[in-house]
Amino acid sequence: MISIALPKGRLGNKAYKLLEACGYTISELMDESRKLVFRNEESGVQYFLVKPTDVPVYVSYGVADLGVVGKDVLIESDADVYSLMDLGIGKCRMCVAAKEDYVEDKSRPVIVATKFPNIARDYYEKQDREIEIIKLYGSIELAPILGMSDVIVDIVETGTTLRENHLKVFEEIMPLSAQLIANKTNYKFKEGEIREVVAKLREAIQ
């Protein structure tokens, strides 16, 4: 039996479609249920539906053997897990964005609003630029509009939200997509099964 932690929401649904195509099916419909655990003895799989940022936690504690998680969440969490493959879904970019007319004032630290303080800190550290971080949990775009921050470090998918709020991308930090992660101990005890999941997924993606 392989346990897989899936993020609730769009990415989780896409990931399930991929896994379903590989034969790791469950009989119930996931999005119409309030259940959190879905199990299928026949296909030898068990899914947990968890908050996206909690996927690396369930995997690093080994209650889930595998997990599907955005690269943004994975890097931010710095979890000590295997990152076995890029699933090629949930593609977007981690960017620095600001008001369209923003000009950086180099005489003082940049004020950055973000959900991803570790990624932001790392990015500016590499450029030797001092920053102040304002950690937010949502509607990050509001921070520069109200003058609370100079820039934001956030995920950009289509750029529509930015445009509608008169913000624009100034720098791209990294491309993002969903990763298949594994617990390091469980990998050792279930190597055959996990390698099979990876092989089937590789085939399904091509």
Partner 1 sequence: MLIDTTKLQKDEQVYLEMQQLFESKGYSLYKMRRFEEYSLYLENRKFLNGENVITFNDTQGKLMAIKPDVTLSIVKNARSEKGNQKVYYRESVYRFDQSSSSFKEINQLGLEYIGEIALDDMATICYLAEQALSVIDNKFVFAISHMGIVTGIIEAMGISEENRDEVIKAIKSRNFGQLEEIGKNNGTSKSILQKIKGIFDAPTDYKEALNALKSAMFNNDIKNAVDELEKVYENISKISKGDNIRLDFTIINDIAYYNGIIFQGFVSKLPKAILSGGRYDRLIEKFNKDKGAMGFALSLSDLAAYNPTV
140 burial (CB, 10 Å; 0-12 / 13-18 / 19+) is: buried
Residue 46 lies near partner 1 (rule: CB under 8 A): no
Site for partner 1 in 107-166 (CB under 8 A): none
Q: Which helix (H) or strand (E) holds 113?
A: strand 110-114
12 near 50, Cβ under 8 Å?
no
User: How many positions of this chain bind partner 1 (CB under 8 A)?
Assistant: 21
Tell me the window of 33-41, 97-105, 115-123, 183-191 that interacts with partner 1 (CB under 8 A): 183-191
Min separation Cβ 125 and partner 1, Å? 13
Residue 186 lies near partner 1 (rule: CB under 8 A): yes
Q: Which string of b and e fits 20-37 if b means at least 16 CB within 10 Å?
A: eebebebeeebeeeeeee
Min separation Cβ 183 and partner 1, Å? 6
Question: Of residues 2, 84, 96, 98, which one binds partner 1 by CB under 8 A?
Answer: 84
**For partner 1, which is the closer residue by CB, 61 or 135?**
61
**For partner 1, which is the closer residue by CB, 9 or 44?**
44
Alpha helices for the chain (secondary structure H) = 10-21, 55-60, 71-77, 117-126, 142-145, 160-164, 184-189, 191-205
Note the residues at the interface with partner 1 (CB under 8 A). Answer: 60-62, 80-86, 182-189, 191-192, 195
